[in-house]
């Protein structure tokens, strides 16, 4: 037994020295590569180098995996040789660790949302008779976007299970006043572009583009007469993809919250 102890010590010391010498540089290189992949994912889609699915479902998870490796290597290196690391290499490890955690979080966050939300992209406050689109149809056709007419029978059930609180707004105000307030709020919504508004039909159409992958979603607001006032329904539909990660429901809820405040 004593004959093997020196070899073990030398091996342990060699691993520790190797990590102190190369660990910071490799960890930072991994984190930087993960950042590059994350940046390329939407850029390549925007430049039409690949379809959005490759960037979203391939490059983003790959970036997260490499970032996780950078985090693990940083932690191991700090745990083994922190006291013997020079200031420069310690700074490299801290940077790699911070960057790695941030880059690993983003794909993990989206993956977690996908597992908890249904794969739907067409959300409406009226699932039986959803508001219809008109003005945005040309733009959707030009992009070969998802159909806004083909709603699967199970869509209403999936939406109600995932977003039970998403309901129409029924204020005790005349239709004309409700329409004007809805239009005012739609114009104030961050990132919304008003495509069309028609007080006669009570329809407002708008679009919003995501910051990261530049996905476009379309919104239609319907204002109609109701007993004692008016009824406001909102529908938000993604142009591409099967799952919207909850974006459309969140958009409708944010709009209705603002409008409810304005109608008080």
Residue 13: predicted pLDDT: 56
The residue ranking higher by pLDDT, 243 or 174, is 174
**Residue 244, Cα to own-chain centre: how many angstroms?**
8
**CA distances (Å), 84 to each of 20, 21, 71, 80, 210, in order?**
8, 10, 19, 9, 46
38-74 residue pLDDT tens: 999 999 988 889 888 899 889 999 999 999 999 999 9
Q: Quick one: which of 209, 212, 220 has its CA closest to 186?
A: 220
| 75-122 confidence digits (pLDDT tens) | 998 888 666 778 888 899 999 999 999 999 988 887 887 778 888 999
Window from 41-50, 133-142, 171-180, 189-198 with minimum mean pLDDT: 41-50
| φ, ψ of residue 202 in degrees (nearest 5) | 70, 30
Cα distances from 58 to residues 61, 107, 115, 143, in angstroms, run: 6, 10, 17, 22
> Which distant-in-sequence residues (6+ apart) come within 8 Å of 102 by Cβ?
67
Would you list the domain boundaries of the chain? 2-116, 122-262
Cα 107 from chain centroid? 9
CB atoms within 10 A of CB 251: 21
More confident residue, 200 or 79: 200
Mean pLDDT of the chain: 89
What does the pLDDT read at residue 82? Answer: 64
pLDDT above 70: percentage of residues in the chain: 92
Give the pLDDT band (50/70/90) at residue 7: very low
Count of positions (residues) in the chain: 264
Give mean pLDDT, residues 187-216: 94
Better-scored residue on pLDDT, 232 or 78: 232
Cβ-Cβ contacts under 8 Å for 23 (sequence gap 6 or more): 73, 74, 76, 77, 81, 89, 93
Fold of 122-262: Alpha-D-Glucose-1,6-Bisphosphate; Chain A, domain 4 (3.30.530)
C-alpha 133/C-alpha 256 separation (Å) is 19
Alpha helices (H) in the chain, listed in sequence order: 5-46, 52-54, 60-81, 87-116, 137-142, 155-162, 175-188, 247-262
Q: What is the pLDDT of residue 5?
A: 47
Q: Calculate mean pLDDT across residues 175-190.
A: 97
Prediction pTM value: 0.79
């Amino acid at each position: 037994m004593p004959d093997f102890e020196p070899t073990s010590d030398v091996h342990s010391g060699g691993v520790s020295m190797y990590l102190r010498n190369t660990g910071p540089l490799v960890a930072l290189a991994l984190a930087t590569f993960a950042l590059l992949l994350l940046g390329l994912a939407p850029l390549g889609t925007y430049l039409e180098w690949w379809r959005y699915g490759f960037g979203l479902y391939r490059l983003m998870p790959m970036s997260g995996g490499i970032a996780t490796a950078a985090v693990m290597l940083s932690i191991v290196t700090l745990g083994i040789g922190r006291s013997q690391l020079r200031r420069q290499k310690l700074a490299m490890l801290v940077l790699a660790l911070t960057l790695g955690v941030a880059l690993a979080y983003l794909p993990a966050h989206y993956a977690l949302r996908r597992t908890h939300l249904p794969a739907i992209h067409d959300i409406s406050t009226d699932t039986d008779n959803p508001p219809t689109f008109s003005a945005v149809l040309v733009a959707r056709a030009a992009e070969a976007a998802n159909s806004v007419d083909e709603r699967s029978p199970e869509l209403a059930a999936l939406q109600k299970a995932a977003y039970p609180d998403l309901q129409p707004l029924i204020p005790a105000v005349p239709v004309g006043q409700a329409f004007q307030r809805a239009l005012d709020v739609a114009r104030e919504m961050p990132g919304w572009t008003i495509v069309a508004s028609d007080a006669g039909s009570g329809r407002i159409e708008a679009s919003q583009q995501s910051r990261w992958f530049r996905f476009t979603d379309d919104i239609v607001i319907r204002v109609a007469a109701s007993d004692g006032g008016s009824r406001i329904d909102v529908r938000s539909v993604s142009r591409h993809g099967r799952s919207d990660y909850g974006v459309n429901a969140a958009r409708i809820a944010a709009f209705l919250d603002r409008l409810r405040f304005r109608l008080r």
